[in-house]
Structure 1
Amino acid sequence: MNESVEKEQAMQMKAQWIGLQEDFLQGMLPGGGANRLAENLLGLKAAGHPPDSVTDAAIVAIAAAQDPDGSWGSGEVQHRPPIAQSPVGATAKIIRVMKDYAIPARAQEFAQRIERARAWLVKTKPVTAEDYSMRLAGLYYAGASQADIKQSARSLLELQRPDGGWGGNPYMKSDAFATGVALTSLIESNAITTTHSAFRSGVDYLLSTQFPDGSWYMRSRSMKLQPYFESGFPFGHDQWISTAATAWAAQAIAFEVSAAKIRPAQER
């Protein structure tokens, strides 16, 4: 891992919100809504960024955006699958950042918000593969019962394809995004271990579809809203979603790499 690049990315994420702290404290959200803020906070947390005035302001805005039923919306007027298409994914991500960057003085309120979100996740019916994956993750983050977590994990495992992957929906072939999200949710929730056959099959699928340069390709299926520009990532007009797919796939495989370092040789 290139730590200097990681630090630079974290600072870029934080820098875009520094001038909007007053807006956040008034409950005003940027384009992409609470879901976008949550994704940025997840990135900051992964980079080891501690709570500060920027994360506090962002959490205030996120909390205020919770819907009466306990969920949070995807943040987009037009759904942009698979990254921003469902309140299930948004709610799961927000539960996690509300725990990671909780404001101590509002701990009781945040606990109540998380409980409402958990209750909504238990009742909601997943539609897409990401829904099933993020529902499992969200239930785990919210401290749901083992019965609810196991049931959610079983439902997700039932969607795994013969090729080892998961597809975005029943009508699409397996892809790196859906597979990476599924494997990550299953491992992070402790529903399975890296020795489980479903995980082994999923990793095999990802490795078989990885490009020589280390990336994974995924075709965009979202409405084009912004002018195209070249970021340097492969795949031209499909580079945005391919970046996300590559990130999820790499995260899933990283669990295998970490486990292999401590697994007895006869189990590898």
Structure 2
Amino acid sequence: MKIARFVEAGQPRLGIVEDGVVYRAEGNLFDPGALRRGDAVGPLEELELLTPVQPGKIVAVGLNYALHVTENDPTRQVPDEPVLFMKPTSALLPHGGVILLPPGDRIDYEAELCIVIGRRASRVPESQALDYVLGYTCGNDVSHRDYQRKDGQWVRAKGFDTFCPLGPVIATDLDPNDLAIQSRLNGEVRQNSRTSNMIFSPAFLVSFISNVMTLEPGDVIMTGTPEGVGPMKPGDTIEVEIEGIGTLRNTTRARD
């Protein structure tokens, strides 16, 4: 099942997506088996979409594809444990939204598979970790490289408003372990990999993070980006496509 959130009559609504068409849905996002499909609303691309979930927290993983680890720093070592950081929920941006680029020399796109937690997870074993997952969506971990280098940590560099595009849908029936993941800048392929190239698998990440902090329904884990990251400039269109989910598309402009 694919689930979307959209605006209708000024209110957030839940929808089931089939063949690119959104149908009204009644029920609880975190109980997709009980969602009831209603009337068709319209094509997904013609609706005003919201981020497919409103997380309580966004936990991000850095350096989770080996070829990305060294692409900007040849001396950087592959981590022996996941590198964690947080993005604020104020950074969220839906499919179709505009990424606002503050002043700087380099602000990069980073295509990522995102895990949406479906039920409370605390200290879960890796063998059971995916049982706590609602589904998966596309994300873009927008990163201000100037501040990343200057600060030595990543909160400011990755925490600007609009720096966490997410969507367009949550796919609930998906094996996350070997999916094609791609980014395109103005239609040109920039990243092209598979989630099987992750250093730490989705199940390992859910288990590892849940042993650090309790994960609540709706929380999002960004699982890292493959090699091929690069800068965006005002007027660009950046797309993140993941097999079985769809394409997250955003444009950019300079921040006022």
Whether TM exceeds 0.5 here: the answer is no
Structure ranking higher on relative contact order (CA contacts 8 Å, 6+ apart): 2
Q: Higher strand share goes to which structure?
A: 2
Higher Rg: 1
Q: TM-score, normalised by structure 2?
A: 0.25
Q: TM-score, normalised by structure 1?
A: 0.24
